[in-house]
Amino acid sequence: MNRKIFTIFGALLAGAVLAAGPARAADDYPSMTIRAAHDINESHPTHKAMVRWQQLLSEATGGKIKMRVFPNAVLGSTDSQMTQLQEGSLDIVVLGGLSLLGKYNDEANIELLPFLFSSNPNAMKALDGAYGKWLTEKIIKPTGFMPMCFMVNGLRNVGNNTRPIVKPEDMPGLKFRVSNSAMLVEFFQQMGATAVPMAFTEVFTALQQGTVDGFENPAAVFNANHLDEVTKYLSLTGHSFTAYTPVMNMKKFNTYSPKVQKVLLDTAQEAAKYQRELMYQYEDQSVADLKQRGMKVNDVDKDAFVKAVQPIWARFIAKYGREGIDLALESQK
């Protein structure tokens, strides 16, 4: 074989090896479709991140593992989705806050402990550190769910149709819709307001009809769902933080091979990085958008609110101790 023929043969062989690489990698994965659901509007960065996860998963497995994303509560409320997750008809549900696991383990309400986190980046730093590890092992896994990653939902603010909220004394007499969270109920009760647990899908109509006076959530949620159309005032209380957390049924997750588990978790982490980049920009833009569309946005006396919630902290510490709190505070540094 002369040198020229040998060179051509070598090039063809190398090309065949490279071409076979992805095919062999794909062969290592079973063919499956992951069904993931959430109640978030398609314009929100979290839905975009789920679509990105869908793409990353397909690319990493040569198209063997696909994901179908069901947004905007098309498969029902979060509570309904969680039931489907437990029954096996859904594989992943994106929780709008880990406190939604409170009905399985009420210590999960630590996430909503008022003013535990000083900023969105600090909260994510804690979740990426020792606090996040503690939360996963102590709180989430024992409820039967596997957290795939942590994404930003954000510091929560108070919107209402009656008056700007500047200090705790502005809260009494108002009715606020809250998610089904004991900690949020306790916060509003401590402020002298009434908390009305209600599915997110019912919020727009409830505000429109005056069933409730207000709503609390990150500014991005007000913006993505056009809640400024039915809410006059947004007060930047930043009273609690929540993370978007895609969770999988632990029993289902444990049926997968280590290789499948790894690719699910690795691509989830990449999607989370993408979501955080979008979310930090979107949260700031949301405040500007809401103002531009006529919503009255105001800052609050944060020190007065921090002082007012100290009884909530005292009750929580008396019941659960300080371990999670101290890890959350230390991890933010």
* Residue 92 belongs to domain with CATH number: 3.40.190.170
Partners of residue 177 on adjacent β-strands: 196, 215
Residue 265 covered by a domain:
yes
Residue 45 covered by a domain:
yes
Residue 6 covered by a domain:
no
- Report the number of distinct structural domains present in the chain: 1
Say how far apart CA 33 and CA 24 lie, in whole Å.
20
Mean pLDDT estimate for the chain: 91
Residue 22 covered by a domain:
no
**What was the pLDDT predicted at 333?**
85
**What was the pLDDT predicted at 200?**
87
Q: State the CB neighbour count (10 A cutoff) for residue 195.
A: 21
Confidence band, pLDDT 50/70/90 cuts, at residue 199: confident
The whole domain housing 263 covers 31-331
Contact 45, 248 (CB under 8 A): no
3-state secondary structure 250-286: HHHHHCCCHHHHHHHHHHHHHHHHHHHHHHHHHHHHH
Cα dihedral 301, 229, 208, 76 in deg (nearest 10): -100
pLDDT for 12 beyond 50: no
Say how far apart CA 279 and CA 45 lie, in whole Å.
6
pLDDT digits (tens, 9 = 90+) for 15-54: 444 444 444 455 689 999 999 999 998 989 999 999 999 9
Q: What is the residue whose two structure tokens read 């600090």?
A: 122
Q: What is the mean pLDDT of residues 65-89?
A: 95
Q: What is the mean pLDDT of residues 247-260?
A: 96
pLDDT digits (tens, 9 = 90+) for 216-252: 999 999 998 999 999 999 999 999 999 999 999 999 9
Confidence band, pLDDT 50/70/90 cuts, at residue 13: very low
Say how far apart CA 240 and CA 301 lie, in whole Å.
15
**What was the pLDDT predicted at 201?**
86
Q: What is the mean pLDDT of residues 110-117?
A: 96
**What was the pLDDT predicted at 21?**
47
The two structure tokens encoding residue 169: 């004394």
**What was the pLDDT predicted at 16?**
43
pLDDT for 58 beyond 70: yes
The two structure tokens encoding residue 206: 């409830």
Say how far apart CA 311 and CA 321 lie, in whole Å.
14
**What global pTM score does this model have?**
0.86
Identify which of 115, 109, 184 has the alpha carbon closest to the alpha carbon of residue 329.
115
pLDDT for 180 beyond 60: yes
**What was the pLDDT predicted at 202?**
93
pLDDT digits (tens, 9 = 90+) for 114-171: 999 999 999 999 999 999 999 999 999 999 999 999 999 999 999 999 999 999 999 9
Per the model's pLDDT, the better-predicted residue between 7 and 105 turns out to be 105
Say how far apart CA 304 and CA 114 lie, in whole Å.
12
**What was the pLDDT predicted at 179?**
85
Identify which of 55, 67, 56 has the alpha carbon closest to the alpha carbon of residue 31.
67
Q: What is the residue whose two structure tokens read 């003013």?
A: 115
**What was the pLDDT predicted at 181?**
85
Angle between helices 45-60 and 258-292 (to 10 degrees): 150
